[in-house]
Structure formats: structure tokens, C-alpha cells
Amino acid sequence: MSQEALNAILKPSSIAIIGASRRTGAVGNLIVKNILESGFKGSIYPVNPNADEIYGLKCYPSIMDINDSVDLAVIAVRSNVVPAVAEEAGKKGVRGLVVISAGFREIGEEGAKLEKELLDICRKYGMRMVGPNCLGVINTSVPVNVTFASSRPLPGKIALLSQSGALCSAILDWAPREGLGFSVVVSLGNSADLNIVDFIEALKDDENTKIIACYIEGVSNGSRFIEVARETSRKKPIVVLKAGLTSMGVRAVSSHTGSMAGSAVAYSTAFRKAGVIHVDSIEELFDNAKAFSSQPIPNGRNVAILTNAGGPGIVATDACEKFGLTLAWLSYETIDGLKALLPEQASIINPVDVLGDATAERYERALRLLLKDQGVDAVVVILTPQAVTEPTETAKALVKVRSEYPDKPILAVFMGGDSIHEAVDILKNNNIPVYEFPEDAIKTLKNMVDYAERLGVQYKEEPLEFERNISLVQRVIGRAKAEGRTVLLSHEAKTVMKAYGLNIPRSGFAQNLKQALTIANSIGYPVALKIVSPHILHKTDVGGVVLNINSDHELENAYDSMMRNVATLLPQARVYGVEVQEMVPSGKEVIVGVHRDPQFGPLIMFGLGGVYVNLIRDVSFRLAPLSRREAYNMIMETRAYTLLRGFRGETPSDIESVVDVLLRVSRLALDFKEIAELDINPLIVYERGKSSLALDVKITLTYT
């Protein structure tokens, strides 16, 4: 997004409110009120032909009657009038629009036309637009609030981007009590022009924003989302709640947005590629937002737990292990310090139990010791209200120590109700994230650690260039297309594999028995026989595969019985012929696949192969283009890796060759958009140095 358009919307110096109203409670009234109350320093021009003034501001019959220039126009008139006033705004030289009005795409065909018209006007005048059908935009650093929300946010470091306007207003209402403040809030509405990705990009260098929290129902341009989010998340964390990942959720999102909700696998893979923190609930979204916005990023995953109660300390310890965090080994110095500080019964090794009679002072001194320890990357402070506990004083102590050690994150877990109420408020108002229970804090810390580790990783993309025969693949695909086939025949699919440098078994396509015999004799027995038909997807199920054929006689029998079986079981299927293939030595069977995701492009799959693929589901996914490192990680994530590495004294398999296959398949999927699905099952992996073989390959094409 251009800086100018961005500034007009996020940092306007003059605003016209088209549809400003004197009627209390009306949207056009709330907007004017919010702008005024936000403390906006620039010019405010209410536009309403039937009013002279609103809140003491002079009212204009039309935007054209304003003498000064206008950066931003907020539109809150009936939808059928919106294009006309937008046109005027364009003529006036307005650069940014926030269209609050509803009654566009979300109401049907009529509305969709209106939205298109509105968008055309924006394009014509070079205006950028938020909405329509949105709550509006807030920037607390300007300050400006062009929403009709009834609650006003505290200033803070969290940017909230939401595809649900109602969620925005609920959060704006809830957040002040939680001590959560926002830098920017954008309700995206229908995203006819500016979408969530535009704002992620815009906030990348916004110094007032430390974390970007997003509520997403769908992403329209998946690859741009990944690119921008990846770039941005190297500067500041992006936490995303993606709604509609369950089967009923998908239906709800589909109805709500009219866009494909997308598969859960594709989204989580895309989020990983983009370095985005993916959360499952609104609560988690803000658990993370409050920690990231107030705490430094930890240097490692070594956590110290400081508690005045054994039970919650153990719960926290379990959570650490569950989420892959390490309990820090405390230094001798720290242990000595704790020994000197704490009563004898106290636990001076991590989790550090300062006992139920711990005062604020004991907490303070213990916390200081832990933060000082080089081996501690973060501290979780747990407090339960017991007889002599001083919650309020302890909270103040935390605030004090926090300022002494600004480089390590402190997360507080204050468990209880009325007795800790005041303490919790102190923490909230002093930038110490506080959680009700240990698991929430530990899970959040885990996300912080993961984020820190990703920042440390250099995504060095190696040049992935292979010798490959592109024109051969073009010819194969061209022929299938000419015949109107969407599924490549087995020998065609293997040709594609060969063109991309994969090993394939020796084989030939025969249209009758005589040809089959000739091929078998030139390959040499034993051979395998497979049916070739675009209408048979699961060959084995219909007797379409016969293995270990050792002679002409056996081949004849196999051919006859195969034709009989297919004719009986699938009488509708059109048979093209058979494939005669060499019998290959056995090895480890894995599967490599491609599924072209409509949003994010080729999703590469790796897993344990064979007939149990669907049962075991030992699979991992990454989006193309794959780096060598990603390909390795894909393999290592699966149990198949244990097998390939050499299970119980077996010779290790050629993992390098699997990596190579993954990279080549990724390249193929990027080169040929027609390839919608590809399955190599099995890819037989031989001993180290002996490569691999694509034994059976299925490729589905699309032409749209």
C-alpha cells in the first residue's frame, strides 16, 4: 500500500464525515462523537445537507462545499447513495475512504453490483478504501477514532485487525478492564479494496505497534499473505485466530464470507511458513497479545517457575514439558542465594517454591535472583492467596523488579478471586501480563520462545534449479488436455516423473496381449501388470494389479483375468490397455504428494507410504517452494523418519534422495499450474547411496 493512502486512512489530518447526524445513537452521530472524543487535532467536517452544525462543528451540505482539502472521508449513508458521495469525494481529492455503510456484497446480487461500482470509483480517483460494511478505524497515536463503537480503547502496543466488526466492538468494550491498549484497530468489513494483508504490511514499520493480532475468516491472496506476513513477522510478531477450521465452522465461514474457508492443514502450513503464531481461541489471541506487547522476547526456552504453592508449581512444570519448554538449571550462585533467602523446607531447585508463608519481600528477592541467573530466559511467577500472602504488595514488587530487569520476560499467574483483585489490576496497569492459571501463561511463553527461535533462523533460500525436461511434460499434459482427460494415465505420469529426474521402473504401455508379451520379454521376467484406464482410480480394488509374473503363460493368465475382473467390477470403465512393469526390489515405502490448495498453492506432503497411508496418517506438509531445510524438516517430523534412519539396526535409507524428490516435486508443482493433485505412492527408498524409485504415480490435472 502506498504511504500516502496509508497515511490518509491511518494518520489523517482532516476528516469529512458523510452522513454525519445530530440524532443521538445514530451511526453518523457516534462517528463524529468518537472523533471529537478521541482528541483528534485535525479538521473535522461533518457533511449533512439537513443540518447546520453537529456538536458545534459547522455542517456542510456536500463534501464539495468544504473549502479546505480533505484526507479521509468516512461514509455512513444508505448503501444506494454511497457511490454518488464516493464520486464526490473522489472529485474533492480525498485519498482515503472508510465506508461504514452496510448493504453491499453481503446482501446479494444487487449489493454486489453496488460494491463493484464503489470499487470502480475508488480506482478511478486513486482512492483507497476500508470496508464497506465495517466498524471503522482507530489509531490511538494520532489520536483518531473513526468508528461507531461505543467504547474507546486505551492507547497501547497491540494492533488489532479483524474481519468481524462485531468482534472488534466486543473487544474494544472488554479490553480496558483487562488493561489492554491498542495502537491501531481496523475493522475490515467486506475488504472490497484494502484487505488484511495490506494492513499487516502497513503496520510492519509502525513504531507504536509491537504485535499484530488478527481475526481471520479467510485470506484472498494466499501467496501474498505468506510473503507479507513472513516479512513482517521478522520485525514483530503476528498472532492469528483463524475461524472456521472445523467442518461446521467451514460451512459458517462459507456462508458468512462467500469465500472458501480453506483447509485447516493448508492454513496451519501457511502460518508456519509465514512465521505467524496460530492460536485457537479469542482468549489465546489476547493471552499472546498482552505478553508480546509488554514483554521482551526471551533468549531461549529455559523457564524458571517461582511459586508459593507446590501444586500449581507442578502443573506449570508439566505444562512446560508438554509445550516443549525446559525448566532452567539454576546456577550454584542462584541456588546459594535461594538457600540463604528461603526457609529450609523451601524448594530451591526449579520450580522454586517460596512456600505458603512467602511475603512480598521474599518473592521480590527470589525473583531478583532468578532474573539475574544467566541460565534463566523467562520467569513465571505463581501466586495463590494463602494466610500470610500479600498479593498487592507482591504485585508491586513484581513491577519494581520488572523495571530492574527489562530484558527478560516475566509472566504472572495470580490464582484466586476477590483477594487478588487489586493485585491483578496493578499488574495489568503496569505492563505485566497476568494469567488466571499456569497453563495459559506457559502456552503463551512457548509461543514467545518459538517466535524468538524463528527470528534466529536465517531463511536462506537455496537456488533450486534442476535439469528438467519441461517441454516433454508440456506435451504429455497437452495430449491429455486435447482428449479432455483430467487424470494422466500411469505411463504418462511416470514420463512426467522421469522428465523431472526421478527414477521410475522400466515399463511399457500395451494395448493388447501381444504387445504386453513383447514388452515383458524385453524387460525380462518377473514383471507386474497394471490396468490402464482413466476411470479406475483404485486399481488394486478391481483386480487391476498383478505382481510377480514369471512367464509368458502367467502373463497371459494375468491379462485375461484382469480384463475379466475389470469388466465385471467396473463395467462402465473404459480400458485403454495395460502397463507392463519390471518387478523392483523392495525398500522402505514412503509417499510424496502434492495438493494444490486454492488459497496457498502447492501443498507438498510426505509420509509413510503403502496401503495404510489413510489409516496411520503419518504425514507432514509444507508449501512450495520448498527449501532444502524445509524438506528435511518434513521428513524428520514423521515417524517414517525413524524407519528411514534405520530402525533397530537396519541399514539407513537414502534420505538425501527423498529430499531431492521433495524438492523436484515442489519444482514441478510450481512449473505446472495444471497439476492439481499428484501422488507418488509408494516411493521406494533404498539403502543410503542407492536412491529411490517412484513406483506408482497419480496425477490429476485442472485446466481452469
Question: Do residues 488 and 576 make contact, with C-beta atoms less than 8 angstroms apart?
Answer: no
* CB closer to another protein out of 537 and 611: 537
**Is 676 an interacting residue with respect to another protein (CB under 8 A)?**
yes
Least gap, CB of 132 to another protein (angstroms): 14
* CB closer to another protein out of 258 and 524: 258
* CB closer to another protein out of 118 and 146: 118
Stretch 580-639 residues interacting with another protein (CB under 8 A): 595, 598
* CB closer to another protein out of 152 and 256: 256
DSSP characters over 346-393 = SB-SSSEE--TT--HHHHHHHHHHHHH-TT-SEEEEEE---TT--HHH
* CB closer to another protein out of 177 and 538: 538
Say how many residues touch another protein, by CB under 8 A: 39
Least gap, CB of 245 to another protein (angstroms): 11
Cα end-to-end distance, the chain, whole Å: 30
**Is 647 an interacting residue with respect to another protein (CB under 8 A)?**
no
CB within 8 Å of 127: residues ≥ 6 apart = 5, 86, 89, 90, 94, 95, 96, 97, 121
* CB closer to another protein out of 362 and 596: 596
**Is 574 an interacting residue with respect to another protein (CB under 8 A)?**
yes
C-alpha cell at 553: 503363460
* CB closer to another protein out of 141 and 254: 254
How far apart CA 432 and CA 127 sit, in angstroms, is 41
Stretch 369-428 residues interacting with another protein (CB under 8 A): none
How far apart CA 88 and CA 596 sit, in angstroms, is 44
The window from 421-429, 552-560, 661-669, 696-704 that contacts another protein (CB under 8 A) reads 696-704
CB within 8 Å of 534: residues ≥ 6 apart = 485, 487, 489, 574, 576
645 backbone dihedrals φ, ψ, rounded to 5°: -70, -20
Least gap, CB of 702 to another protein (angstroms): 5
* CB closer to another protein out of 52 and 109: 109
* Contact track, another protein, 247-266, x by CB under 8 A: x--xx--xxxxxxxx-x-x-
* Contact track, another protein, 495-514, x by CB under 8 A: ----------------x---
Nearest 5°: the CA angle 233, 235, 240 is 30
CB neighbours of residue 407 within 10 Å:
10
Least gap, CB of 544 to another protein (angstroms): 17
**Is 109 an interacting residue with respect to another protein (CB under 8 A)?**
yes
CB within 8 Å of 170: residues ≥ 6 apart = none
CB within 8 Å of 168: residues ≥ 6 apart = 135, 147, 149, 160, 162, 185, 187
Phi-psi region of 528 (alpha: psi -120 to 50; beta: other; left: phi over 0): beta
* CB closer to another protein out of 466 and 703: 703
Taking the CA atoms of 89, 93, 99 and 100 in sequence, report the sign of the dihedral they define: negative
**Is 195 an interacting residue with respect to another protein (CB under 8 A)?**
no
How far apart CA 390 and CA 397 sit, in angstroms, is 10
**Is 268 an interacting residue with respect to another protein (CB under 8 A)?**
no
**Is 677 an interacting residue with respect to another protein (CB under 8 A)?**
yes
Least gap, CB of 191 to another protein (angstroms): 12
Stretch 68-107 residues interacting with another protein (CB under 8 A): 105-107
**Is 478 an interacting residue with respect to another protein (CB under 8 A)?**
no
CB within 8 Å of 413: residues ≥ 6 apart = 312, 316, 380, 381, 382, 383, 434, 435, 436, 437, 438, 440, 441
Distance from chain centroid for Cα 307 = 34
* CB closer to another protein out of 24 and 247: 247
C-alpha cell at 461: 533460500
* CB closer to another protein out of 254 and 469: 254
C-alpha cell at 465: 534449479
* Contact track, another protein, 213-252, x by CB under 8 A: ----------------------------------x--xx-
* CB closer to another protein out of 118 and 277: 118
Report which secondary-structure segment, H or E, holds 148.
none
DSSP state of 258: S
Choosing from 56, 417, 456, 484, the residue that interacts with another protein (CB under 8 A) is 484
Choosing from 1, 36, 57, 112, the residue that interacts with another protein (CB under 8 A) is 112
Least gap, CB of 532 to another protein (angstroms): 10
Binding residues for another protein, rule: CB under 8 A, are 105-109, 111-112, 247, 250-251, 254-261, 263, 265, 482-487, 511, 534, 537, 574, 576, 595, 598, 676-677, 700, 702-704
